[in-house]
Amino acid sequence: MAATVLKVGLIDPPGHIDVQASERMAQRVAEMTAGEVKLEIYPAAQLGRASDMLMGLKPGTVDRCAPRRENRRRVVPGSH
């Protein structure tokens, strides 16, 4: 069976603490699922700006992102 691959988009540059944490999370997920789930980390806005990534969650072009609060508010009114 093929692994499930999830795209994780970040606006931070490689080496940033958020990118490092996401890379560690990807390692742990792969370990805990025996490679059945793989997180692909895309730093430095490779999947678009924060607002682009938020909008990409619904159609599934992005599976996870970590936008700043001000970006969430622009795309999802009332979010905290």
Other CB atoms within a 10 A radius of the CB of residue 63 amount to 15
Phi–psi pair at 71, nearest 5 degrees? -75, -40
| pLDDT of 2 strictly over 90 | no
Greatest CA span in the chain, whole angstroms?
Answer: 40
Q: What is the pLDDT averaged over residues 43-67? A: 90
pLDDT in tens, 26-35: 999 999 999 9
pTM: 0.83
| Across 12-16, 46-50, 69-73, least confident range | 69-73
Calculate what percentage of the chain has a pLDDT beyond 90: 68
Domain ranges for the chain? 4-75
| pLDDT of 70 strictly over 90 | no
